[in-house]
Amino acid sequence: MARADDDTWDLASSVGATATLVAAGRALATADPDPLIEDPFADPLVRAVGVDFFTAMLDGQLDVSQFPDTSPERVQAMVDGMAVRTRFFDDALLAATAGGVRQVVILASGLDARAYRLAWPAGTVVYELDQPSVIDFKTQTLAGLGAQPTATRRTVAVDLRQDWPKALRDAGFDPSAATAWLAEGLLIYLPAEAQDLLFDRITALSAPGSAVGTEYVPGIVDFDTEKARTLAQPLRQHGLDLDMSTLVYAGERSHVVDYLGALGWQVSATSRDELFTRFGRTLPADDASQDPLGGEITYVSAARA
């Protein structure tokens, strides 16, 4: 079913299932013989969601030969892609807090466990924003595992289509203090005008010294709907209804680097290929041709003087 302005989801459906997919990727990246990241909570969180497809993925029980244009090399590249993405944003957040920032906001946090797994400086407060059912599920699951946050964790159960800045302030957020913002894996699921509004709101809430981590996917402009539907067919046959053609908002939108720059942020951009090289990972030669988004991703970090 296509997206709607008032649609809802849980971690097993619609956009929520993409959060579980991300966590599954982090679990596989953590189990890699040469791991770039360590997320011990990703595996149990994914298993707790209870989707057979994701559990089989973690257990190595999916036959990738049944999926179109998929090889062991491409599977490894997908795991590596999640690893370099996660490491990039981990490093960006920790660099901000090393520079004195003590207020972190994770937008659309899903199954993100950074509040539990990163070595935050004393006094750091991490705000997690997501739909109430997602927040409740993660909180209860991690409590059942005996997990303890490594920072002061404050949850904000709010849909980003609502007045989340007010909800954030009501939870104790201080707009006069520098903040490290994370909008990871979020923008392609927002309409173009909502993407602009997101960064307008972030900017309005950001004191000098604040930082933003996000990414820009140029392929969203001419997203290949047919390729996405083709990739979704075998997933559906294995019990997972995850069709990206119905979840993303394709078409023209602001380029994140330019938009943040116009708002007064000092912006730096790093391509996915650069990150793979930085961390000693290898991309298949045909990687971009298999991706309905074109394979290109620009990872963005920005600072406000």
SS3 label, residue 300: strand
Residue 137 sits at the vertex; the CA angle it makes with 136 and 143, to the nearest 5 degrees, is 90
Instruction: List all residues 6 or more positions away from 110 whose beta carbon is below 8 Å from its beta carbon.
Output: 11, 16, 19, 20, 22, 23, 130, 134, 138
Domains of the chain (ranges, CATH numbers)? 84-303 (3.40.50.150)
Report pLDDT for 289: 55
Report pLDDT for 64: 63
Indicate yes or no: pTM above 0.75: yes
What's the Rg (C-alpha) of the chain?
A: 18
Assess contact for 173 and 205: CB atoms under 8 A.
yes
Report pLDDT for 12: 76
**β 125-130/152-157 pair status:** parallel
Least Cα distance to 18 among 235, 297, 227, 198 occurs for 235
Tens place of pLDDT per residue across the chain (305 aa): 555 666 666 787 677 789 999 999 999 999 999 999 999 999 999 999 999 989 999 999 887 656 666 677 888 888 999 999 999 999 999 999 999 999 999 999 999 999 999 999 999 999 999 999 999 999 999 999 999 999 999 999 999 999 999 999 999 999 999 999 999 999 999 999 999 999 999 999 999 999 999 999 988 988 888 877 877 777 777 777 777 788 899 999 999 999 999 999 999 999 999 999 999 999 877 655 567 776 789 999 999 99
Instruction: List all residues 6 or more positions away from 120 whose beta carbon is below 8 Å from its beta carbon.
Output: 97, 104, 126, 150, 151
3-state secondary structure 151-216: CEEEEEECCCCCCHHHHHHHCCCCCCCCCEEEECCCHHHCCHHHHHHHHHHHHHCCCCCCEEEEEE
**Residue 271 belongs to what H/E stretch?**
strand 266-271
**Residue 12 belongs to what H/E stretch?**
none
Report pLDDT for 9: 62
**β 125-130/298-303 pair status:** unpaired
